[in-house]
Structure 1
């Protein structure tokens, strides 16, 4: 697979070919995803809830995201690499956004940043794009706004919400975003968003009509301690059970003295 670029993603949309997006937070996972042909790898701020033990994404810092991004960037050769800008790294002012996004873009291999919000952050998106920083938009359910909205629920349930989603998508496109992530939106609404803009619309819990799909890699691997995952998550493996069985066996063998045996001794 050749290096994924913005024109390449636009060409795939024109051809009607779906794009595969997935999160990664470390070198090993990113290397596997890149090798298998994942086209867009996102260093998501879900890093905080999957690896740092936070209850939501709000505590994630620039420093934490920079560490994860450097690790992932070392592994990625062909996929497009996008980085989530963490909470309060871009909301205060366009100047803050440019400064912080610039820190990510200075990492070799990073291809752009992702911001949550619609029309309200369009001026910031426009400023970033004018500085030469590609921006992936994100509308619908906005995890960084959980304290305001109070609950993780699907969007697009009312005419007002649908109109706002379409307006947000148009505002992001006008500001220069090269694509949009639509999260937790009713599947009947996504085609309306796609019709309103020319740029690719990728979904996470937004139904089958998107130009591509993104999920959290730990979710699809079944590697989570959450008692309940979102409805849109499909578990493709149960890695957690495999890890538990391996560690349990290791504990038993060490306690019993069966490990190390002659085969595993010098």
Structure 2
């Protein structure tokens, strides 16, 4: 008699408890097949608004909509059993007011089945983070380089250098005190990232920050070599899927043009021909 094995999904409290312990492995995912692969290796899977750039071809994350995040969130949910699922709140869905953030975060959670949302901003978003967490919505914070603010930041610049370090450190303390269960540190000077990790009581998840962070996250299309339009310094490519896919498509195109594909093994004989062949072999 077989016994069904139930896999317990990780929750925000489980990630929070990993502070200072085993490093937290995180990746983005936007589709069911990739989510299934990531679930075998990751503690946390983020449905990132980076989907706008790497899947939909947008120039930045600013144009990503709530409906887009929900659609991809639903797809990712179908591929996860164990990893904690977090969904990015897109630009313009939480900044106006705490109440607006609550409505949209509630919609994301209800529609996708995710266990938490992520939003960008430090001190300026601390009140909203507190408001959400007090109403049952776990929040992952995101400070340092915040891509949704690219127009005001003036580019994808390193944050937390020199005199700017104090501002980023204040942001980290503010989101931790507000109740975030973890915080992403993006493109922050290594020394500053180390100081923040030592100072706050919640796990820090680095992306272009420091190996001393409590965990790391990368955009899956970047680390697999699927997105090749540009390559940030902090990205390590563990595969070159775009290159391999290009070579495969080239081989396919050549075989179609010289009529070597499909071969006999890829086509279907009619019933009369199949019966005759069987009779001949008897």
TM-score range, shorter chain: over 0.9
Contact in 1 for aligned 2:73/2:112 (Cα 8 Å): no
Aligned residue pairs, count:
262
1:256 corresponds in structure 2 to 258
Matched, 1:173 2:179: no
Scaled by the length of structure 1, what TM-score is found? 0.96
Task: Give the one of 212, 224, 227 matched to 2:227.
Answer: 224
Question: Within 2, Cα distance between the matches of 1:255 and 1:196?
Answer: 62
Matched, 1:102 2:106: yes
Question: Within 2, Cα distance between the matches of 1:235 and 1:55?
Answer: 21
2:14 corresponds in structure 1 to 8
Scaled by the length of structure 2, what TM-score is found? 0.90
Question: Within 1, Cα distance between the matches of 2:267 and 2:146?
Answer: 53
Cα offset, 1:48, TM superposition: 0.2
Instruction: Compare CA radii of gyration and give the structure with the larger one.
Output: 2
Q: Where in structure 1 are there 5+ consecutive unaligned residues?
A: none
Question: Within 2, Cα distance between the matches of 1:195 and 1:222?
Answer: 32
Q: Where in structure 2 are there 5+ consecutive unaligned residues?
A: 1-6, 269-282
Aligned partner of residue 106 in structure 1, secondary structure: helix
Cα offset, 1:157, TM superposition: 1.1
2:36 corresponds in structure 1 to 31
Task: Give the one of 79, 84, 88 matched to 1:80.
Answer: 84
Moved over 4 A (4+): none
Aligned partner of residue 210 in structure 2, secondary structure: coil
Contact in 2 for aligned 1:76/1:109 (Cα 8 Å): no
Aligned partner of residue 28 in structure 1, secondary structure: helix
Cα offset, 1:173, TM superposition: 1.2
Question: Within 2, Cα distance between the matches of 1:10 and 1:80?
Answer: 12
Cα offset, 1:12, TM superposition: 2.4
CA RMSD of superposed structures (Å): 1.2
Report Cα offsets for 1:55-111 as digits up to 9, x if no partner. 100000001111000000111110000000000010111111111101111035301
Matches within 5 A, 1:86-125: 86-107=90-111, 109-125=113-129
Contact in 1 for aligned 2:207/2:218 (Cα 8 Å): yes
Task: Give the one of 22, 27, 33 matched to 1:22.
Answer: 27
Question: Within 2, Cα distance between the matches of 1:206 and 1:2?
Answer: 30
Aligned partner of residue 168 in structure 2, secondary structure: helix
